[in-house]
Structure formats: structure tokens, C-alpha cells
Amino acid sequence: MRGRPCIRPVSPQCQKEQCHKRTFRLYTSQSLDVDGTKRQKFASMNRPTAGVTHEQTLPVGQHSLQLYFLGTPNGVKVTILLEELLAAGHTQAEYDAWLIRIGEGDQFGSGYTDINPNSKIPTLVDHSGDQPLAVLESGSILLYLAEKFGAFIPKDIARRTACLNWLFWQVGSALYISGGLCTLREQLSGISEHEASEGNGVRCGEG
């Protein structure tokens, strides 16, 4: 990981759509195809294993917020909120974003498993307090950021509950719906039902 450049869009003046497209394009350029090689690229998106397999130091940039992620929907939803916070004038939402190449096993490196023993992206580390605080799980990260900046989450209990209802729906259901569609697409493109049920689709990468 050492020496890998931070991929946070350079300009703090968010050209929202451009930022998101850029971030997303960086990590999803190998789109699923019926081509077997490409499909293999995505076979390791959701592995049933976690924990350290090798030594690998995590980079830490200059901002309080350090994001370790990949441009899957679970990763990009965090950069979208960070960019929205910046666009709304929350300058403390500046962040460094670091690529975790899940296809190559970066999520099992010692530095990453120290902050996220579940070996999934995304993970946010907030260095603004006395101790670095690791926040994992995309929904938890969104809630953390909304509460930290007092933005994008209503204070009123009824509206807050409505907001959280859909946040939890999104985390618990949205990707499974898109995952189901991807699995169907895999099946239609000719791979066996067994391969599909083994997760050889693009459940979260192309959701």
C-alpha cells in the first residue's frame, strides 16, 4: 500500500456528478461481461472469510477522515455523502480515500484487519478525537457522518425515524435486490446455477 496515491478527487469544490462518476469509474471499469476472465475478477467480491493473512501497512493521509474503500456501491455511498457534506460547506469533511483492492486481498492485510476485523470495505477512521476511531459498515458510517456534522439527518423524532427506516432498508435490502438481478443476469449469460449460488456474480460491484 505504501506509496499508492490518494484517489480523493483533487478539487474540494465538488462538481458532484463529476466526482462521483470519476470515483465510480476508477473502480468499476472492468464491467461484468459474459467474458469469463472479467467474471472471475468479481468472484471475490463477497468472501465468507475474514481476518489477517499477511502484513500490510495502511496509509494515513493528512485529513482527520481517512476512508478505506473501493468503488462498489457500498464504498461509493460513503464518498457521495462526504462530497455532499463538503458541498454543503462542512470543510471538516475533507478526507483522504485509499483504495482497498478486495480482488487482491488488501482487506486481509494486518493494517486493514486492525481497523476492520470483518475484512469488508468500506471503513472510515476518524482521527479528530484523542484516539483514532474506526467506523465500519456502510450504514454505520453514513449515520456517523450525518451525526458528526449534524447534517442530512433530521432531529425531529418522526422524520429521523423515517430517515433511518430507509437507511436500514438500503443496507439490508437494496443490494440484495440488485444482487438478485445480477445473479439472474449471470444465469441468463450461461453460468451454472451452482456457480451463481457460490456468488460468482457481481453482487455488490455492479449493483
Ligand X SMILES: N[C@@H](CCC(=O)N[C@@H](CS)C(=O)NCC(=O)O)C(=O)O
Q: Interface with ligand X by CB under 6 A: which residues?
A: 44-47, 72, 74, 102, 107, 119-122, 137-139, 171, 204
User: Which of 84, 105, 79 is CA-nearest to residue 151?
Assistant: 84
Cβ closer to ligand X: 83 or 119? 119
Minimum distance from CB of 61 to ligand X (Å)? 21
Strand order in the sheet with 95-99: 95-99, 65-69, 123-126, 133-136
Sequence length of the chain is: 207
Q: Which is nearer to ligand X, 22 or 47 (CB)?
A: 47
The smaller minimum CB distance to ligand X, of residues 122 and 201, is found at: 122
Q: What is the DSSP letter of 89?
A: T
**Beta carbon nearer to ligand X, 6 or 174:** 174
Shortest separation between residue 196's beta carbon and ligand X, angstroms: 17
Give the list of residues 6+ apart from residue 131 with CB closer than 8 angstroms, or none.
none
Instruction: Provide, rounded to whole angstroms, the least separation between the CB of residue 102 and ligand X.
Output: 4
CA distance 19 to 26: 11
Least Cβ distance, residue 110 to ligand X (angstroms): 15
